[in-house]
Amino acid sequence: MVQLLYFAWVRERIGRDGEAVDVPAGVVDVAGLVDWLAARGGGYAEAFAEPARLRAAVDQTFAPLDAPIAGASEIALFPPVTGG
C-alpha cells in the first residue's frame, strides 16, 4: 500500500485529500501512477488531464514525473507551488 496525498486544485477536483492504494505491478513511475489514476475517470481524469501542470513529491521530496515509485510509502500530487 502506498499513501497518496492531493493538494490544491488536484485535491478539489478529486474531491478528497488522499487515499491508500495498491499500485498494480506495471506502474513503475509517477507518470504511470498518474495515468492509472486518471483512467478512473470523473474527478481523477479532470485533475490529471494536463500532466504538464502537475508536480509530485515521493516520500516528501520533490520528484520529476519519471521518478520511480518502487518502495515509496507516500506520494503527493499537486500543482506547481505558489507560496511566498
Partner 1 sequence: MSARVAVQEADFDLAAEFARLEALGGGGVASFTGVVRGGEGLTALRLEAYPGMTGRALDAIAAQAITRWSLLGCTLIHRHGTLSVGERIVLVGTAARHRAAALEACAFLIDWAKTKAPLWKQEIFADGSSRWVEPRAEDDAAAAEWDASAEHGKP
The 3-state DSSP class for residue 36 equals: helix
Cβ atoms of residues 15 and 43 within 8 Å: yes
Report if residue 43 touches partner 1, rule: CB under 8 A.
no
Instruction: Give the largest Cα separation in the chain, rounded.
Output: 39
- Does 60 participate in binding partner 1 (rule CB under 8 A)? yes
Residue 67 binds to partner 1 (criterion: CB under 8 A): no
Based on CB atoms, which residue is closest to partner 1, 33 or 56? 56
Q: Is 79 in the site for partner 1 (CB under 8 A)?
A: yes
Query: Smaller CB distance to partner 1: residue 20 or 25?
Result: 20
39 binds partner 1 (CB under 8 A): no
Which residues sit at the interface with partner 1, rule CB under 8 A? 5, 7-9, 57, 60, 62, 76, 78-84
